[in-house]
A and B are shown apart, each in its own frame.
Chain A
Amino acid sequence: MGKEKPKIAFYWCASCGGCDESFLDLAEDILDLVEKIDIVFWPVALDYKRKDLEALPDQSILMTMINGSLRTSEQEEMALLLRRKSKILIAYGTCAHLGGIPSLANQFEREKILEYLYKSAPSVVNKENVLPKIQYDEKGHKVTLPEFRNVVRSLDQVVDVDYYLPGCSPPPKLLKKAFSLLLSQELPSKGSVLAPDIALCYECPRIESKPKDLSIAEFKRLHHTQPAPEKCFLAQGIACIGPATRGGCEARCIQGNMPCTGCFGPTSRVRDQGAKILSALASSVKAKSEEDIDRALSGIPDPVGSFYRYGLAKSLLRVKRIESNNSVESKNNGVEK
């Protein structure tokens, strides 16, 4: 085989699996890629175990792509382990980049989540009220589960990240470009997001239809309207997060007649994507009195869900503050019992 091929690893944390699947979107290009690299770890596709990974020398993996957000101690351990073994660590996809949809759970207390999922959800039958335990003795065998954390985190809130590949999931074009960039050793500056640093509107096919004097009378919810197929969503009073979202996806959602929901995250110049789109949309409202403003904005009933759909973990506020007298310490004592 001659020269050793660069080692690549993939890993998933709290993820829907879409990111792993997105590698297959490379289609026939994947064959070229596999020619050039050596995949040493990929739980969703290949049967390597953690101990195989541990056996590799530190820094021996050229590049690891981790997708998914992090909520369990196991995910943290794996992220740390992969960080140690890899030269380059990439947060792959929105969840690893910004916390993703799972980080919307940062609006709810851990206890409430467990309570709902294991007890009160209408689809749950759990008469004994059994909740997952970190340790459990089954006929003398000690069974352990990872710790379920108080909050959901992005990858860089747990380990040092070199690059980010945004998107839910990242489009094959960007993935291909990232691979060729990183394999060519022409490394961009650390911390770069490997997508254009410009908002989506620049590549949106509907931008021409957005009037230059847009003033929004009221926001309409998507399911209450029949969006016109070629008109800017904002011009139709439908919240579109595109103006506050990095481009590079070629406006995939818009081409499917759905507004942008912001999965690529903000440009490098914006610290908090949700605050920025909130500012832009609210400023564009026509109304002047409090009542009229509220009415116009009532079409955005859940600003957190609309503006931080993918980025609550990385937002300035990160987590919903739960009012409680005895702060967070009380919640820090394991899962149950």
Chain B
Amino acid sequence: MNSKKWEPRIVAFFCNWCTYRAADLAGISRMKYAPNVRIIRVMCTGRIDPQFILNAFSKGADGVLIGGCHPGDCHYVEGNYKALRRFRLLSRMLKDMGIEEGRLRLEWISASEGEKVQWAVNNMLEKVRGMGPLDLPDHFKEWDKEMEMVKPELSEKVVRNG
């Protein structure tokens, strides 16, 4: 673990038409929220492949926030419903994999709801902070340490994982 005080890291996937614009609006309105979030733009929440979410967790995200248009308002008719369906099943699977509920979060935030971006990020940060670090990369490293005795050269090399 880093010597620096742990700060949660949140990766956010925001749809281009509603939540990304809401985040822009939050900026234009100078609403301050925690700097721990990194926003990745996709055209629609329907584009969010569950692989992206798992990849974010496995690369060190402590939380993943999905933001999309409210049901019925999707720019592409029903992309957000597809996102919702995946989210429901993925959340259940994550729970089964020991990743607490709340580390993956879905919020409907329309382009006018800058405040909701501020609230969602801050609220999520607070919750994730309470859960503590997820820190999968370090877990991977820890697990693979056990092979060092057999294979010293492994300790230097990150185990192939993709």
Contacts and interface: CB of A to CB of B under 8 A. Distances in A.
B49 A279 contact: yes
Interface string B103-125: 00000000000000000000000
B160 A156 contact: yes
Interface in B70-86: 71, 81-82, 84-86
Interface stretch (A9-17, A226-234, A298-306): A298-306
A149 B92 CA distance: 27
Contacts of B57: 316-317
Given A153-B159, A275-B49, A318-B143, 13 more contacts: A80-B150, A156-B160, A272-B50, A274-B93, A283-B46, A297-B85, A304-B96, A314-B161, A316-B54, A317-B54, A318-B161, A321-B97, A323-B98
Nearest to B49: A279
B25 interface: no
Contacts of A288: 71, 81, 84
B55 interface: yes
7 contacts: A270-B51, A272-B50, A281-B89, A282-B82, A293-B85, A294-B88, A303-B89
Interface stretch (A41-49, A162-170, A252-260, A326-334): A326-334
B5 interface: no
A147 B148 CA distance: 12
A194 interface: no
A156 B46 CA distance: 33
A320 B98 contact: yes
B64 interface: no
Interface residues of A, number: 51
A278 B89 contact: yes
B145 interface: yes
B96 A285 contact: no
B139 interface: yes
B85 A147 contact: no
Contact of B90 (A149, A278, A315, A318): A278
A22 interface: no
A157 B160 contact: yes
| Interface range on chain B (Cβ under 8 Å from partner) | 35 or more
Interface of A: 73, 76-77, 80, 107, 147, 149-151, 153, 156-158, 160, 270-272, 274-276, 278-279, 281-283, 285, 287-288, 290, 293-294, 297, 300, 302-304, 307, 314-323, 327-329, 332
Given A271-B162, A332-B145, A107 B51 contact: no
Contacts of B92: 297, 303
A321 B142 contact: no
A318 B144 CA distance: 12
Interface in B131-153: 134, 136, 139-140, 142-147, 149-151
A294 B90 CA distance: 11
B99 A321 contact: yes
Given A157-B159, A157-B160, A275 B51 contact: yes
Contact of B147 (A76, A160, A317): A76
A322 B98 CA distance: 6
A303 B50 CA distance: 13
Nearest to A83: B151
Nearest to A191: B160
Given A150-B146, A332-B145, A316 B51 contact: yes
Given A303-B93, A328-B139, A293 B147 contact: no
Contacts of B71: 288
B142 A328 contact: yes
Identify which of A151, A278, A304, A320 gathers the most chain B CB atoms within 10 Å of its CB.
Answer: A278
B134 A321 contact: yes
A278 B147 contact: no
Contacts of A328: 139, 142-143
A297 B90 CA distance: 11
B151 A321 contact: no
B147 A158 contact: yes
B84 A278 contact: no
Contacts of A317: 54, 57-58, 97, 99, 136
A271 B88 contact: no
